[in-house]
Amino acid sequence: HLAKVAANESKNKMSRLKLGTTIGVNCILASPAPSLTFLSSLFLSAMTIYQSLNSSCFMFSVGFSVAASSLVGKTLGQNLTSASKYNARVSTIAACVVSALLGTTMYVSDHEILPGLFTKDVDVIRETARTLPLLSLYVFADGVQVTLSGVLKGCGMQVRER
């Protein structure tokens, strides 16, 4: 019996080692540091502005996500399922409206205005402007996704008051 336990333990250690090695290699290969070394400062500057705009838009949705999570969790904890559904809908609709407004504004406005707030370098502004139509679509989708994630978090384990 001890031999079987030792053999299983050895197999478990090997499988953990294989999994850890795979994860480690993926982390190294997926790390942006080695992959970004070939990019010029122009592209890195444009990417930095892109991410700054993305992060700014994302913060609106995070607020809706936190609100949805706490309101849905609170009402489910009080066993008020209809109020939970209402809170989930309101949070999601509000996030959709705000994300759609942000995305639409970014899509229809002159694409060189927002990057121009960060730099005066014309080449960086043009390069960043090329990415803004895609960012505008991403802002909408990500805003809805993060709010729905907040709703799901609120549906987690509830502690009921007695």
pLDDT in tens, 54-63: 999 999 999 9
Residue 106 in contact with residue 135, Cβ under 8 Å?
yes
Euclidean distance between CA atoms 162 and 77, whole angstroms? 10
Backbone angles phi, psi at 73, to 5 degrees: -60, -40
Assign 32 a pLDDT band (cuts: 50, 70, 90).
Answer: low
Residue 154 in contact with residue 70, Cβ under 8 Å?
yes
Euclidean distance between CA atoms 83 and 16, whole angstroms? 45
**What are the distances in angstroms from CA 82 to CA 32, 72, 73, 87, 89?**
45, 10, 12, 9, 11
The yes-or-no verdict on residue 147 having pLDDT over 60 is yes
Instruction: Provide the pLDDT for residue 162.
Output: 54
18-28 pLDDT tens trace: 555 555 555 55
Over its C-alpha atoms, the chain yields an Rg (Å, rounded) of 23
88-136 pLDDT tens trace: 999 999 999 999 999 999 999 999 999 999 999 999 999 999 999 999 9
Backbone angles phi, psi at 31, to 5 degrees: -60, 135
The yes-or-no verdict on residue 159 having pLDDT over 80 is no
